[in-house]
Amino acid sequence: MSRSGAYATFYVGNLFFGIPIAIGVEVTKGQEVTPVPLGPKEVAGFFNLRGHIVTAIDMRVRLGLQANADGPDVVSIFFQDQDALFALMVDRVGDFTQVTEATYEETPSNLDSNARELIVGVHKLADKLLLILDTQKIVSGINLVQH
């Protein structure tokens, strides 16, 4: 993954994340999500985006954070992985941010193992850290069979 480029940013808890907009990102609000009983716990449910079924992933669950008291937020970020559409349910969406390689740094090795799998690197912005997520891993790392 290229280290510089444009990122769509968002907040989950007090963490600030980015995913490359090159994969095709779109932001919407107020989707009514149909939950999936018996499905993987990370899957918040499905909703409809212009006739497509979108699988919504609850990022708080995915990142192993405390669940939001109000349930997953309504803001979601879409992207396409292979044939399927996914949405990340996040707390708040930030700006599109352009970064250069100068601010890039590898993931610190003492990061939580679950987070290290998803976070490919970090950009030191002026006021905070931008954690770069690997969208493919967000999807592929979900354990499909739940007990």
Q: Which residues bind another protein (CB under 8 A)?
A: 32, 34-40, 42-43, 45-48, 50-53, 55, 57, 82, 84-86, 139, 142-146
Rounded Cα distance between 135 and 102, Å, is 23
Do the Cβ atoms of 42 and 72 come closer than 8 Å? no
User: In whole angstroms, how close is the CB of 45 to another protein at the nearest point?
Assistant: 8
Looking at the Cβ atoms of 52 and 92, the one nearer to another protein is 52
CB of 57 to another protein, least distance (A): 8
| Distance (Å) of CA 118 to CA 18, 36, 93, 94, 135 | 11, 24, 19, 19, 8
Cβ 147 to another protein shortest distance, Å? 10
CB nearer another protein, residue 16 or residue 86: 86
Task: Give whichever of 35 and 64 is closer to another protein, judged by the CB atom.
Answer: 35
Which residues, including other chains, have CB under 8 Å from residue 127's CB and lie 6 or more apart?
none
